């Protein structure tokens, strides 16, 4: 039985091993990671390995959103505040400055490939199951999660998860993360 569980976990994580120096991942973050991969597998897609670098970016961004983001019509949740060791930016719904998002994994964690983010907010608490259900119902977020157009050619090789109080953030990348 134990061997079956180990094989299932290796299948679910794409064979990615969790090393002793892997960043702290909360039970909710782990659950979100597993839910996303279970959903992808149910659609006939590959599981995405957990990334140290993208998890760092996700955790930092979830905390930045909670502590500094003010919902407005001007900047959406892919924006970054001036309150950290990164370049601040206002990400708008027209997607005219995608580098605001794409460049953050390199800037924050040295991940040398563009990053793609989905974000979720709930006034009480960001729970993994609810975040995934909302993303599945949102065409733009679902496209990233499920490799639908315009992300059907994306080959996700890394995923990072972060949940902090009311925010859940997931980052996807096309470069393997070397742990």
**Rg of the chain over CA atoms, in angstroms?**
16
Tell me how many domains the chain contains.
1
Query: Does residue 67 register a pLDDT over 60?
Result: yes
Q: Which domain holds residue 37?
A: 27-70+99-173
Residue 99 has pLDDT above 50, yes or no: yes
| Token representation of residue 144 | 């990233």
Predicted local confidence at residue 25, as pLDDT: 93
pLDDT > 50? residue 5: no
115 domain residue, yes or no = yes
Encode pLDDT of 40-58 as tens digits.
999 999 999 999 999 999 9
In contact, 171 and 159? CB cutoff 8 Å: yes
Structural domain contains residue 82: no
How large is the average pLDDT for residues 141-167? 97
Does 19 have pLDDT greater than 60? no
Phi first, then psi: give them for residue 120, nearest 5 degrees.
-140, 145
Torsion region of 163: left, alpha or beta (phi above 0 gives left; psi -120 to 50 gives alpha): beta
Residue 24 confidence (pLDDT):
80
CATH of the domain at 126: 3.40.33.10
Mean pLDDT of 98-125: 95
H helices of the chain, in order, are 2-12, 27-42, 52-68, 99-102, 104-109, 128-137, 139-146
Query: Residue 17: pLDDT above 60?
Result: no
State residue 40's pLDDT score. Answer: 98
The residues near 125 (Cβ < 8 Å, ≥ 6 apart) are 165, 166
Residue 77 lies in a domain: no
Residues sharing a CB contact under 8 Å with residue 146, sequence separation 6 or more, in sequence order: 39, 40, 43, 45, 136
Give the pLDDT band (50/70/90) at residue 23.
Answer: low
Can you state the angle between helices 27-42 and 2-12, rounded to 10 degrees?
80
In a domain, 22, yes or no: no
Is the residue at 155 inside a domain? yes
Question: Could you tell me the pLDDT band of residue 63, with boundaries at 50, 70 and 90?
Answer: very high
Confirm whether 79 is domain-assigned: no
Type and span of the H or E element at 176: none
Residue 87 is assigned to a structural domain of this protein:
no
Q: pLDDT band at residue 73, thresholds of 50, 70 and 90?
A: confident
Q: Is residue 32 part of a domain?
A: yes
């Amino acid at each position: 039985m134990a061997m079956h569980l180990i094989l299932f976990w290796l299948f679910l994580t794409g064979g990615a091993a969790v090393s002793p120096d892997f960043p702290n991942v909360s039970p909710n973050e782990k659950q979100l990671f597993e839910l996303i991969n279970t959903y992808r597998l149910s659609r006939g897609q590959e599981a995405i390995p957990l990334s140290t670098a993208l998890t760092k970016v996700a955790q930092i961004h979830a905390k930045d959103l909670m502590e500094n983001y003010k919902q407005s019509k001007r900047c959406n949740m892919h924006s970054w505040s001036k309150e950290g060791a990164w370049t601040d930016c206002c990400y708008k719904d027209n997607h005219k400055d995608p580098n605001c998002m794409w460049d953050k994994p390199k800037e924050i964690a040295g991940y040398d490939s563009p990053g793609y983010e989905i974000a979720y907010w709930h006034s009480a608490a960001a729970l993994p199951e609810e975040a995934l259900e909302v993303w599945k119902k949102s065409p733009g977020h679902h496209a990233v999660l499920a490799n639908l157009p315009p992300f059907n050619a994306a080959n996700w090789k890394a995923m990072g998860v972060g949940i902090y109080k009311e925010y859940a953030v997931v980052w996807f990348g096309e470069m393997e993360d070397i742990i």
